[in-house]
Amino acid sequence: MNKIETETDDELRAEYDLKALRVRKVGSERRRREILRNAKAGMEEIAAGKLKSFSSVDDLMDSLSQD
């Protein structure tokens, strides 16, 4: 069996080359602030009547099936 060359050049290489991806580290404090900010925004939307809250999973599933 012939060996396939893996270092081929093509225009999509940047899209699927996982080794070339840049990764940004997110610390626990930053993540915690993001969670708190999202929770606060969600509570404000519930208070404004933009979101519904459900007391059971069945109620949630019923609501989703009606959309």
DSSP secondary structure, 1-64, as one string: -PPPPS----TTHHHH-GGG-------HHHHHHHHHHHHHHHHHHHHTTSS---SSHHHHHHHH
pTM: predicted TM-score of the whole model, two decimal places: 0.39
User: Is there a domain that residue 3 lies in?
Assistant: no
Looking at the 3D structure of the chain, how many domains does it have? 1
User: Is there a domain that residue 4 lies in?
Assistant: no
User: Is there a domain that residue 21 lies in?
Assistant: yes
User: Is there a domain that residue 34 lies in?
Assistant: yes
Q: What is the pLDDT of residues 9-55, one digit of tens each?
A: 667 777 777 777 777 776 777 888 889 999 999 889 888 988 777 88
